Structure 1
Amino acid sequence: MSSRAEGPEGELTSSGGAVKSADRLMTLLEHLADTGEATFSAIAAALKMPNSSAHQLLRTAHRRGFVEFDESTRTYRLGLRLWEVAQSFAGNLDLPGTAQPLMTALSDETGETVQLARLDGLENVYLAIAESKQPMKLVSTVGARLPAHTTGVGKVLLSGLTEEQLGTRLEGATLERFTRNTLTSIPDLLVELRRIRKQGYGEDNEEYVVGCRCVAMAVRGGNGVAVAAMSVSIPTPRFNRTIARDVRLALTRTVAEVERRLGGRTAS
């Protein structure tokens, strides 16, 4: 006699009442949490399911942002949407927890607001913030989203994509203008991204809001791929090239230490 029954929406359930597709999704997320990343074949084997079913499950999870796909390694990993849903649970990601005390120290050193962000499509999502103690400062919130083409962290993260990945994301995109300095032409943005790759850091020249500049750098994992970006935001009245240089040096040291603590590159 079969131990399976129909659920309220026609889903196959086990005798324990678990919805089969939901159980498979939980198993997928747990597997990626344990492994960090996995190929399609490894996932299908771990879930003990046919390739066609595994493909449908991954496609759905990827479309909803719960799973990300790295085209360079052909592997899947947990997606940013999972972090957003789990924001109320402290410690759900190592990156913000590792970076936060170092960001606070950097904010104290520079006197400015420090932010950490990841890329989601054509937006950067803020994971952690160390706010300046000065009266005039950038004010932001964890979980906020901004168009990546308008921010230092966003442009740094976009610069870490391959030309093919950029082409896919930017195809048909409209780059909204926020200030007279916003890059609204895709060719101009691509030129800027190549410049960022070459010099190793990016800047926001009042491209999202008038009165605020920033310096940003990628935070890279052990494989050299950017997992996030960190920035120091400076009100324009306090900004000059000497300040920018000093901030960039301090930011370089902080990013290197975050990477070291994450098990990535060795801090210099």
Structure 2
Amino acid sequence: MGRLVPAVTRALDILELFLAGDGTLSAPEVTRKLQLPRTTVHELLTTLAARSYLVPVPEQPGRYRLGVRTYQLGSRYAEQLDLAAEGQRVAREVAETCDETVHVAILEDTDVIYIAKVDSTHAVRMVSAAGRRLPAHCTSVGKMLLASLPQHELDARIDGRELAAMTPNSLTDPDELRAALAEIRERGIAIEHRESNPDVSCVAAPVRDSAGRVVAALSISVPMIRWSEERETELAELVAKGADDLSVSLGHRGGVR
């Protein structure tokens, strides 16, 4: 790796200070937080403001907030993001950790569509594929996504519709489904036992975009021969971390659950 340029590093350090706090900073605050000379901070702030990365706060003399150039860069970054590609990358990382099948799915009406998948290396594993569509109420990813909907959207998707069963364990009663979704919403994790496949249990967590909206869910699927309460707890933590990592890659900043 080449040599880092100190001035650029300091300028970026200043910009990253705005990731926390109330969104405005003064020169003395930057000086104190970064332990830089006052003259250096003044020059850096002046340069960043001249290039529209920072702007003075009119009603608060001496304070700065992020400028339009940072928004433009963030927007361009968001435009280049590919949920499926990012999902595949994170799914691979999660699968390497647990050696189980990992999916990323999105919600379309009352179904989920798998947009990324990484297989386990075990001989006994879940048979599925990216692009497959399943009833949302029968899967952990689907229930996670349904639980994340505003109430009126959820009602529009399940009221008056038949909830088909994929296995004897599938939830087909709307009231039971609503109760299950309320628990998922409270916990922030969805777990399903043999509801879409009689030999598989799954755990899922929500994936959020830069605006905090749930846009997908990430799940880990495990054959019942490798499932236990201890394994469930372990995988719930792992799937939450994986979903958080994917959310961060989509521009989300904290407060996932």
Give the TM-score category using the shorter length.
0.5 to 0.7
1:102, distance to aligned residue in structure 2 (A)? 1.9
1:92, distance to aligned residue in structure 2 (A)? 8.7
Flag the 1:178–1:99 CA change in 2: closer, same or farther, 3 A. closer
Aligned to 1:264: 252
Between the aligned partners of 1:201 and 1:180, the Cα distance in structure 2 is 22
Aligned to 2:235: 247
Letter in structure 2 aligned against 1:232: I
Say yes or no: does 1:185 pair with 2:173. Answer: yes
CA contact 1:256–1:267 (8 Å) conserved in 2 = no
Between the aligned partners of 1:199 and 1:266, the Cα distance in structure 2 is 17
Identity %: 32
List structure 1 runs of 4+ shifted beyond 6 angstroms: none
Between the aligned partners of 2:179 and 2:104, the Cα distance in structure 1 is 24
Letter in structure 2 aligned against 1:233: S
Gaps of 5+ in 2: 1-78
Between the aligned partners of 1:163 and 1:201, the Cα distance in structure 2 is 18
Letter in structure 2 aligned against 1:118: I
Aligned to 1:141: 129
Aligned to 1:156: 144
Between the aligned partners of 1:228 and 1:200, the Cα distance in structure 2 is 13
Deviations 1:113-162 (A, max 9, x none): 00000000000000000111111011211111000010000000000111
Say yes or no: does 1:101 pair with 2:86. Answer: no
> Aligned to 1:109, what secondary structure does the other structure show?
helix
Superposed CA RMSD in Å reads 1.8
CA contact 1:156–1:218 (8 Å) conserved in 2 = yes
Deviates more, 1:155-164 or 1:247-256: 247-256
Gaps of 5+ in 1: 1-90
CA contact 2:208–2:250 (8 Å) conserved in 1 = no
How many aligned residue pairs are there? Answer: 178
Say yes or no: does 1:223 pair with 2:211. Answer: yes
Between the aligned partners of 2:108 and 2:171, the Cα distance in structure 1 is 19
Alignment of 1:28-177 (within 5 A): 94-177=82-165
1:98, distance to aligned residue in structure 2 (A)? 1.4
> Aligned to 1:161, what secondary structure does the other structure show?
coil
Between the aligned partners of 1:252 and 1:171, the Cα distance in structure 2 is 30
CA contact 1:256–1:265 (8 Å) conserved in 2 = no
Between the aligned partners of 1:209 and 1:250, the Cα distance in structure 2 is 22
1:222, distance to aligned residue in structure 2 (A)? 2.3
CA contact 1:260–1:267 (8 Å) conserved in 2 = no
Between the aligned partners of 1:92 and 1:237, the Cα distance in structure 2 is 41
> Aligned to 1:127, what secondary structure does the other structure show?
strand
Name the larger-Rg structure.
Answer: 2
> Aligned to 2:134, what secondary structure does the other structure show?
strand
Between the aligned partners of 2:178 and 2:255, the Cα distance in structure 1 is 30
Structure of greater relative contact order (alpha carbons < 8 Å, 6+ residues apart):
2
Aligned to 1:59: none
Aligned to 1:213: 201
Between the aligned partners of 1:231 and 1:124, the Cα distance in structure 2 is 12
Between the aligned partners of 1:171 and 1:119, the Cα distance in structure 2 is 17
Q: TM-score, normalised by structure 2?
A: 0.66
2:220 to 214, 232, 254: 232
Letter in structure 2 aligned against 1:231: S
CA contact 1:253–1:267 (8 Å) conserved in 2 = no
1:214, distance to aligned residue in structure 2 (A)? 0.4
Between the aligned partners of 1:110 and 1:234, the Cα distance in structure 2 is 10
